[in-house]
Amino acid sequence: MQSARDNKTSQPAAQYDENISKTIPYYQLFNHEIIHLVRCGVADPKSWLDTGCGTGTLILGAMQEFGKLRFVVADPSPGMLQIAKEKILASSGVEVASLLAGSEHLSCDGTFDVVTAILAHHYLSAPDRIQATENCFRLLNPGGIYITVETIRPNTEQGREVGLKRWRSAQIANGKSAEAVDHHLERYGTELLPITIESHLNLLRTVGFSAVELFWASGMQAGFYGIK
């Protein structure tokens, strides 16, 4: 199944926008919360890197909120990156810089006041997740904010079972077929490699962030930030 796709999600890049809000409850809400968090966490941001940018929805919203910052988008999928660039250009008239790379292989000139990695690192092995987070830390300016939202792993097996049942019912209620939902959830623990909330917080502390917080959680997804 993975070989038929052009990215790490459960649908082709061309179908991502029409399916993501069905798959991830509150997707639009936590994008809004991310932008609000940046507004509160960084006094006057001048630059923003979105790694694992997908189809560019977050950066498009950030442009509408913050205006002409230096925006850079990165993604390991050529299909996702192309859609992001085209969508941002069509909606804003701005052609953003782009990098074809996952966070674990990320290297670019300059540093940023904001680095975001949304629904990107839960595909990574433990060593690659550490490397990805270290890269995001390295690319931040002092005082800058790093924000990530990921699928998480509950602390207990019973919690995992309950969480997956809730996620399944939410996706079906949002309009996905039971077959499509089950295909997506079969990836949990195989292609999706979630860690617990506490493991996320510990990773950010270990990498070196001076302030580490959970800022959002619902169901099987949670958001975290660190300030350098």
Please tell me the predicted confidence (pLDDT) of residue 68. Answer: 82
Domain segments of the chain: what residues?
2-227
Asked if 33 contacts 215 with a C-beta cutoff of 8 angstroms, the reply is yes
Quickly tell me which residue has 């830390």 as its tokens. 137
Q: How far is CA 56 from the centre of its chain?
A: 11
The vertex-126 CA angle with 52 and 16, nearest 5°, equals: 30
Please tell me the predicted confidence (pLDDT) of residue 218. Answer: 93
Say how far apart CA 34 and CA 38 lie, in whole Å: 6
Please tell me the predicted confidence (pLDDT) of residue 7. Answer: 82
Please tell me the predicted confidence (pLDDT) of residue 88. Answer: 94
Say how far apart CA 120 and CA 223 lie, in whole Å: 12
2-227 is classed in which CATH architecture?
3-Layer(aba) Sandwich (3.40)
Say how far apart CA 170 and CA 202 lie, in whole Å: 29
Low-confidence ranges of the chain (pLDDT < 70): 1-5
Asked if 214 contacts 224 with a C-beta cutoff of 8 angstroms, the reply is yes
3-class secondary structure, 7: coil
Please tell me the predicted confidence (pLDDT) of residue 1. Answer: 35
Asked if 97 contacts 88 with a C-beta cutoff of 8 angstroms, the reply is no
